[in-house]
Chains A and B, each alone.
Chain A
Amino acid sequence: MTHLTIAMAKGRTADKALAFFERAGIRFSEYHDKSRKLVIYDDENKVKLIFVKAVDVPTYVEKGAADIGIVGKDTIMENPVDVYELLDLGIGKCELAVAGFPDKQFPSSALLTVASKYPAVTKAYFDSKGIRIETIKLNGSIELAPLIGMADVIVDIVESGKTLKENGLVVLETIADVSARLIVNKASYATRTSQIQQVISDLKAALE
Chain B
Amino acid sequence: MVRNEVYPERMLSDSEKFERIIKTINKRFTTYGYKRIKTSAFEQYDLYSKVKSSINQNEMIKVIDHTGQVLVLRPDVTIPITRELVENFPDLLSELRYFYVQEVFRQPFDKNDSIERTQAGVEYFCDSSPEADAEVIALACHLMRDLGFSDIKIELGHAGFFNELVQNLPLTSLQIDQLKSLIQAKNVVEIGPFLQNLDITDEVREVIERIPFLYGNPVDVSERTTGIVLTEKMQGTLDYLMDVYSILKMYGLEQYIVMDLGLINHMGYYSGVIFQGYVERFGKPVLMGGRYDELGNEFGARLPAIGFACEIESLVKATDSREVTSRLSIDVKITYADSQLEQAIAIANELRERNYSVLSFSTHKEQVDPRQSVYLIRLDKDGNSLLYKDKVTPFSDLKALLELLVGGLN
Contacts and interface: CB of A to CB of B under 8 A. Distances in A.
Contacts of A191: 151, 153, 278-280
Interface stretch (A19-27, A30-38, A80-88, A132-140): A80-88
Interface in B274-328: 278-285
B155 interface: yes
B284 A187 contact: yes
Interface string A70-85: 0000000000001111
Given A190-B155, A191-B151, A193-B258, A181 B281 contact: no
Interface string A46-81: 000000000000000111110000000000000000
A100 B25 CA distance: 60
B17 to A, nearest CB: 19
A140 to B, nearest CB: 26
Contacts of B153: 190-191
Contact of B283 (A85, A187, A192): A187
Contact of B280 (A62, A83, A87, A187): A187
Contacts of A88: 189
B186 interface: yes
B283 A186 contact: yes
A85 B181 CA distance: 11
Interface string B236-279: 00000000000000000000001000000000000000000011
Contact of A192 (B184, B188, B280, B284): B280
A185 interface: yes
Contacts of B190: 85
Contacts of A189: 215
Contacts of B281: 64, 187
> What class of interface size applies to chain A in its complex with B?
20 to 34
Contacts of A192: 280
Interface in B175-215: 184-190, 215
Contacts of A187: 278-285
A169 to B, nearest CB: 28
Contacts of B130: none
A83 B215 CA distance: 15
Interface in B130-150: none
A84 B185 contact: yes
B278 A190 contact: yes
Contacts of A85: 185-187, 189-190
A35 to B, nearest CB: 27
A83 B185 contact: yes
Nearest to B153: A190
B216 interface: yes
A193 B258 CA distance: 9
A177 to B, nearest CB: 9
B283 A185 contact: yes
B259 to A, nearest CB: 11
Nearest to B277: A190
A62 B186 contact: no
Nearest to B155: A190
B189 A87 contact: yes
A192 B186 CA distance: 16
Given A64-B282, A187-B283, A187-B285, A193 B186 contact: no
Contacts of A190: 153, 155, 258, 278
Given A188-B283, A190-B155, 8 more contacts: A64-B284, A185-B283, A186-B283, A187-B281, A187-B285, A190-B153, A193-B215, A193-B258
Interface of B: 151, 153, 155, 184-190, 215-216, 258, 278-285
5 contacts: A63-B283, A65-B283, A86-B186, A181-B189, A186-B278
